Amino acid sequence: MECANSFLALLSRALKGGGIMIDNPYYSPEIQGPYELADIGDLQLEEGGTIRGCRLAYTTMGTLARDKSNAILVPTWYSGTHRIMREVYIGKAHALNPERYFIIVVNQIGGGVSSSPHNTPFPAGMANFPRVRIGDDVQAQHRLLTEKFGIERLALVVGGSMGAQQTYEWAVRYPDMVQRAAPIAATAKNAVHDFLSMETLIEAITSDPGYNGGWYKSPADVRHGLHRHAKMWAVMGWSPAFFSRERFRALGFSSLEDFTTNFMYGYFGVMDPNDLLCMAWKWQRGDVSRITGGDLGQALRRIRAKTFVMPIDSDMFFPPSDCELEQKLIPNSELRPIHTVDGHLGLFGADPEYIGQVDRHLHELLATPV
């Protein structure tokens, strides 16, 4: 009995972990703005791993109605946090108006603010962080919404890019809970071309000798890989017309070099490489048909939410034609393309006409009886 108790004590200490974490101020409230952390307990993952004491970072705006009918969920995208959603998409001037709705922005697992490789203690952090899928994020968010807030219905789930992958997953996995859905700039099942695009972005980081198999001491150790990652994002994230029209000048940059260095590398260069890789692996494998044994049509027909599928017309990651093929399989859905030359990264909201279109579509969707 004494040996058994000693073993259990040792196991407990091991599971609590400690050390070998990276203190990255980029993910702090001072940079990202205030957020709360919810410990949702151990999260068993689809790939077989477990995140012990999984923490979800979230922020709320507005007041939850007494009947809890006004809740809107906003999941985050690749590299993004609650900060950009709050600054670009939410406010009195927007469809996501906290004076009318209770808006919950949840940072995805691996995004740097919620449980992620860089902030998970030994032995499960850094390169040992387990594989996470979109479905794991949604299961974790469901636990947060139902157990902490008692929310049983969502007036709307809306997100861009990986946030849209999560939106699709929510609508398929919990069809009776999601009343409206607005996936922006993503597909419900990732395409082969997109998978390969992400593979090159992954290799840009892992091929840097400073990456050291995921056991670096600082993002600066992987600066060459992060620089390549940023330049490749410039190629795929913005459209050819963005560059041919030199739209970067309208954003305050004097040249292409100025833009790629001080915006693209400035953006990605402070982020944690393992966190980016965790999200990239997840992005590559986004696929709601996992719920229905590989039948995408069957999965999308599960959706009961009024759905506006909102591709960006110049997006090279998720072309509108791919989005339209899926939209036609979703009952009670409409295709609502967004027009901008900013490509996939139109999501940043640098084009005011982009955010105006998003708001018009969301206003209409929220006004639609369900």
Q: How far apart are CA 95 and CA 59, in angstroms?
A: 18
Of the residues 315, 322, 342, 351, which is catalytic?
315
Q: How far apart are CA 265 and CA 228, in angstroms?
A: 9
194 is catalytic: no
Q: Which of 336, 346, 292, 351 is nearest to 183 (CA)?
A: 336
Q: Which of 254, 239, 358 is nearest to 308 (CA)?
A: 358
Of the residues 79, 115, 161, 333, which is catalytic?
161
Tokens representing 56 are 């979800």
Q: How far apart are CA 33 and CA 109, in angstroms?
A: 18
* Element counts in the chain: helices (H) and strands (E): 15, 10
315 is catalytic: yes
User: Which residues are CB-contacts of 257 (< 8 A; sequence separation ≥ 6)?
Assistant: none
363 is catalytic: no
What sign does the dihedral 245-251-255-261 (CA atoms) show? negative
Of the residues 118, 227, 229, 344, which is catalytic?
344
Catalytic residue list:
161, 315, 344
